[in-house]
Structure 1
């Protein structure tokens, strides 16, 4: 009975998690849009089963509004081009093996010229299917109509029912990456003052290398979030959201690379000192404390990057400042201990210095002042690229601001 109650209590959380899953959202939205397009096509098309309409809607509706608009235009362009080529081609020759080859060749070439993009193959598919049916002219125009119905329904569906903004999903991915990095840093710091087998050190190195796969997955989630805020009326500061998350992921990616180098340095140190501890007990304990603060700072940085509410952001910023201050203090202690150790036993001083340098690089990347500067530079760069890409729109905005009365401009600045 207790298991049943626990299962029932967990259902709402599971439903919320499914609702926020991009795959689930994409599946439900595609099914609804395809069904609506089929119902509309039944009333407007002459075909008994206008399946081209739901097929087009199924392909047009994407997980974000931006991808739906861009994909829908290119797909309609590809299908209509193929159908029109089949209509023109059927007036000259029928369906034979050589005519089919010529039509496909021409369709694929023309698809490049009409900029069908990744849907060039659909130009040939549409032309081939229309050429192979009887009563080519009537069927071809019905296919064009069905394609337009499916595309229009798919576009209107995403415009009227705007897809979710996947910023929170990307934020969860970034935080998940940071927590995996934290666990790896803590595992690397284990037993620094004890003899460490080379195999164990090499295993940590392989774990650090596998973080590259996690970076790729988070990057894909972030690209989806960046597209979800484009043309989305729910988001007012889409550029800021994109830049904040992107620069945050860039910082974590650099820290991942540095962490891999640190794991490599410790592996080389383990090879050179097979029967001895990597570090004396005092240095190992201090270094473990330093890496613990560094691991906490990585997570605090990710929380700061993904925080939307001002209160949450201030709390995350304070926590990151505390972690960085503690790590900096531990770093100074470790540096003094390593200096004394090198003076006594200068062997492997390069590896000792490399460990400290790699930790310094991660602390520098997580520093809030450096992040603020990098964020402002990225915002300026993105704004400049937008102005260069759309100069007329930028000039219109500047003219609009200049045309405002002086009083309105003061109000707007406030």
Structure 2
């Protein structure tokens, strides 16, 4: 019985993992939407095989609702623009070799003017297909109708079956990046307390540089998560989620840049001091401890950023604050030891000071007050940009609040009491 239960649990976990895979979700949703669009188009389109509808649904349906809406609008705009261009050419010149060239040129130019992005070639394709038939009007109407059907079906699939929120996958990517940063800090700390050869220090520098590629992958996952939060009925406070994740990734990106500079400094120090150790034994041991504590703080920061439950966020925040306090105390101890060492031997004092400066930068980026300030700045920026784009909406909200009867009823007793 236990074996059956274990097999069942493993199968359920495997299915749950497949459901979170973007490729699986995209494949199933696209196939279903395209098939449904074809069935609907058979009842409304005069064409015997209305393949434009499933093609549009296939192109429109995206992993996120926001991407589906924007893609659908651009797709419909591109087809309508191409049909309009084709109708104009058919009325003026008809189809010849030179008019076809002008048609393609005009269609591509119109596609850029109407800003249909990746669907610019679709403007020319629609124009050529419409211009190449004898009954331009019927074909134009059929193509527009099928495109609208495909776009509506694709959008309806995402509205009736809201796509998953990809915050979990983005959070896992952010935490995985933080763990890689921590592992590199641990290795650098272990080698800083000894006599690493220049080749080994240079290898750590290359590892730090490779973190840039990891940042690109995490950024792609985060962009998908941000899109999944927009217009998604499952999500409340989507803007706050997006800002928290984005500012968290920005902080980790800065930390990776500082880590790369730290690795460069230690590589230069290894070249200067070879075959001597990088630091005195007491300094090396404390520096190893400091980098280990900074690595722990980086992971705790990532956990704090990706925690969506208040209890988990509070515990992660408390853990991060404790680790930052410990790391700051160790940093002060290392600073004092380095100062004493520089007084005895001033060689490479610039590199020793640079190591301490780079650790300070990482601690400053992970600081709780710095994070809160960044969050407020980003929220204010988003609010300001929204007001600049839609000032009429802001004025309308103010008027509605001014004439809100509930608000006036709540404020009336206070006014009478004051009188």
- Partner-residue secondary structure (3-state), 2:347: coil
Residue aligning to 1:287: 287
Contact (CA 8 Å) 1:165, 1:229: kept in 2 or not? yes
Residue aligning to 1:255: 255
| Structure 2: distance between partners of 1:142 and 1:381 | 45
| Structure 2: distance between partners of 1:166 and 1:408 | 43
Q: Deviations over 1:134-167 (max 9, x none)?
A: 5444333222221111111112222222222212
Q: Deviations over 1:229-285 (max 9, x none)?
A: 112222221111111111111111111110000000000000011111111221111
| Structure 1: distance between partners of 2:203 and 2:401 | 59
| Structure 2: distance between partners of 1:319 and 1:394 | 40
Moved more, 162-171 or 49-58: 162-171
Contact (CA 8 Å) 2:41, 2:50: kept in 1 or not? yes
| Structure 1: distance between partners of 2:332 and 2:7 | 51
Determine whether 1:364 maps to 2:370.
Answer: no
Determine whether 1:116 maps to 2:122.
Answer: no
Residues 291/408 of structure 1: CA separation in 2 closer, same or farther (3 Å cut): farther
Moved more, 295-304 or 12-21: 12-21
Contact (CA 8 Å) 1:401, 1:409: kept in 2 or not? no
For these two proteins, the number of residue pairs brought into alignment is 409
Residue aligning to 1:399: 399
| Structure 1: distance between partners of 2:14 and 2:273 | 50
Matches within 5 A, 1:136-155: 136-155=136-155
| Structure 2: distance between partners of 1:397 and 1:297 | 42
| Structure 2: distance between partners of 1:400 and 1:217 | 44
Determine whether 1:185 maps to 2:178.
Answer: no
Unaligned runs of 5+ in 1: none
With the length of structure 1 as denominator, give the TM-score of the two structures. Answer: 0.93
Tell me the CA shift for residue 307 of structure 1: 0.6
| Structure 2: distance between partners of 1:246 and 1:154 | 29
Residue aligning to 2:89: 89
Tell me the CA shift for residue 361 of structure 1: 0.6
| Structure 2: distance between partners of 1:194 and 1:349 | 18
Q: Deviations over 1:272-313 (max 9, x none)?
A: 111111112211111101110000000000000111111000
Tell me the CA shift for residue 342 of structure 1: 1.1
Residue aligning to 2:160: 160
Matches within 5 A, 1:6-405: 10-404=10-404, 405=406
Moved more, 6-15 or 150-159: 6-15
Contact (CA 8 Å) 2:401, 2:407: kept in 1 or not? no
| Structure 1: distance between partners of 2:349 and 2:4 | 61
Give RMSD over aligned pairs: 2.1
Residues 47/406 of structure 1: CA separation in 2 closer, same or farther (3 Å cut): closer
- Partner-residue secondary structure (3-state), 2:191: coil
Contact (CA 8 Å) 2:56, 2:151: kept in 1 or not? yes
- Partner-residue secondary structure (3-state), 1:190: helix
- Partner-residue secondary structure (3-state), 2:351: helix
| Structure 1: distance between partners of 2:4 and 2:323 | 42
Residues 408/357 of structure 1: CA separation in 2 closer, same or farther (3 Å cut): farther
Residues 375/62 of structure 1: CA separation in 2 closer, same or farther (3 Å cut): same
Moved more, 296-305 or 270-279: 270-279
With the length of structure 2 as denominator, give the TM-score of the two structures. Answer: 0.92
Moved more, 105-114 or 205-214: 105-114
| Structure 2: distance between partners of 1:272 and 1:114 | 60
Q: Deviations over 1:38-60 (max 9, x none)?
A: 11011111222111100001111
Q: Deviations over 1:321-375 (max 9, x none)?
A: 1111111111111112111111111111111110001001100110101111111
Moved more, 299-308 or 376-385: 376-385
